[in-house]
Amino acid sequence: MTAPGAVEPPLARSTLDRAAHRRSDEQWLADAWAQGRVLVLDMASGGRALARTSAEGVALVLVAADAVPDVDQTARLFLGVEPDGTPVFAVDAPLPKIPDTTTVTLREVGHQLGSRDAGLFTTAAALANWHAGHLYAPATGLPTTVGEAGWSRTDSDGNRMWPRTDPAMIVLVHDGVAGPEGRCLLGHNAAWGSDGVTRRFSCLAGYVEPGESAEAAVVREVQEEVGVAVGRIDYVGSQSWPFPGSLMLGFHAYADPREPVRVDPAEIAEARWFSRSEISAVLAGGEVDAGDGERVGLPPPVSIAFFLITQWLAAAEPGPHNLGP
C-alpha cells in the first residue's frame, strides 16, 4: 500500500531517461536491442507481465532479447535508458516461462513497485494500449505501421500520428477542517454496481472538455455529478492512467457540507460526506456502514484517487476555509 503522505502518485514515478533522440536511430536501436532488457507484456491477457516478490517487495522481471526471438522489429517499443546505460524495450507477446515468477497487472501492483519499475510498466502499458487502438489512421482509414521505435504510427500516404493522452480531472472535495471531524465528499459511481459486501466510494472525476481548463472542469463536474458548488481549488499532482490512455490531473477543492447533495443518477448512484475518523477506520481494516448491509470501500492504492484521499487524511492543516457561522 502506498503510504499516506507519499510525495507523488504511484504511477507518476520513474527513473528512466526516455532518450527520445534515439528513437529514429535505427543502427543504435538494433545494437541496443541486442544488449538491452525487455519488459514483456501480454496484452491478450489484460496487460500482464512477469514479477517476483521478495522481502524487498515486488519487482518486474525483464528478459534478454533472445528470450523473445520471434518478435518483429517494428513491434519493439523503446522505453528508454536506465541510469547505468542499459537500454529497455517493451513488447506485446506471450509471457516466457521463467521459474519462480508470477504474472501481474499494473492495476494490481503499480503501487508496490519501485520507482523504476512503476515508470517502466506505466509507459509500456500506455504505449501498448495506444498502438492497439490506432491500427488505422483516423483521418484516412488506412492501415498504419509502427515508427520511431514505437512512438509513432504512419499510414501508406505518409500521414504520421503520435501517442496522445486524454486529460481528465479528479478531485477530492472536502470542507477544509483540520482534525478527525474534517469531512470529504465521495461518490459511488452508478456504473460500479455492488457485490453485496462492499460499496466503493471514490473521488469525483471527469474528462476535460474541448476549450475548457482543468479547473473549470473541476467546477463543472462537481456541480453536474453532486450539485455542490466548490470554492478554492488546489492542484495536487498528476499521473498517467493507461487504461487505455488518460492523464489524471488531481485536485483538492473546498465546499460547504451544509450544501445539499443532489446526485445525477446517470453518473453517481450515491454521494455522502465522510469524516477523517471514518476514512481512517476503513483504511485500518475496520467496517464503516454503507447501508443495505454493505461496508464502505475505498479506491485501490494504485489510483490517484487513493493518493488524494490519503494526502488529505495525513494533512494536519488541510488549508484555511471559513464556512461562516
Q: Is 321 a domain residue?
A: no
Task: Specify the CATH number for the domain of residue 301.
Answer: 3.90.79.10
135, 161, 187: which is the final residue of a domain?
A: 161
pLDDT single digits (tens) 31-44: 999 999 999 999 99
Classify residue 203 by its DSSP letter: -
Q: Is residue 176 predicted with pLDDT exceeding 70?
A: yes
- 144 and 258 belong to one structural domain: no
pLDDT single digits (tens) 234-245: 999 999 999 999
Q: Which whole number is the average pLDDT over 59-65?
A: 97
How would residue 72 be classed by pLDDT, with cut points 50, 70 and 90? confident
Domain around 256: 166-314
Q: Is 212 a domain residue?
A: yes
- 110 and 153 belong to one structural domain: yes
Q: Which whole number is the average pLDDT over 167-174?
A: 98
- 89 and 231 belong to one structural domain: no
Residue 2 has which C-alpha cell? 502506498
Q: Tell me the C-alpha distance between 19 and 37, whole Å.
A: 15
143, 161, 179: which is the final residue of a domain?
A: 161
- 157 and 178 belong to one structural domain: no
Which is higher by pLDDT, 216 or 322? 216
- 276 and 178 belong to one structural domain: yes
- 180 and 99 belong to one structural domain: no
Which is higher by pLDDT, 76 or 325? 76
Contact in structure between 159 and 139 (CB atoms under 8 Å): yes
Global pTM exceeds 0.85? yes
- 204 and 190 belong to one structural domain: yes
The full DSSP string for 47-62 is SBEEEEEETTEEEE--
Q: Is 174 a domain residue?
A: yes
Q: Is residue 229 predicted with pLDDT exceeding 50?
A: yes
107, 142, 161: which is the final residue of a domain?
A: 161
Place of cell 513491434: 75
- 42 and 86 belong to one structural domain: yes
Q: Which whole number is the average pLDDT over 109-131?
A: 97
- 179 and 219 belong to one structural domain: yes
pLDDT single digits (tens) 140-170: 899 999 999 999 999 999 999 999 999 999 9
Q: Is 2 a domain residue?
A: no
Q: How many domains does the chain divide into? A: 2
Q: Is 4 a domain residue?
A: no
pLDDT of residue 316: 53
How distant, in Å, are the alpha carbons of 47, 61, 96, 208 from that of 103?
10, 10, 11, 34
Q: Tell me the C-alpha distance between 233 and 215, whole Å.
A: 7
- 29 and 119 belong to one structural domain: yes
Task: Specify the CATH number for the domain of residue 106.
Answer: 3.90.79
Listed in order, strand segments (DSSP E) in 20-159 are 37-41, 49-54, 57-60, 63-64, 77-81, 87-92, 102-104, 144-147, 152-155
Q: Is residue 276 predicted with pLDDT exceeding 70?
A: yes
Lowest mean pLDDT among 1-15, 68-82, 120-134: 1-15
- 58 and 133 belong to one structural domain: yes
Q: Tell me the C-alpha distance between 209 and 218, whole Å.
A: 11
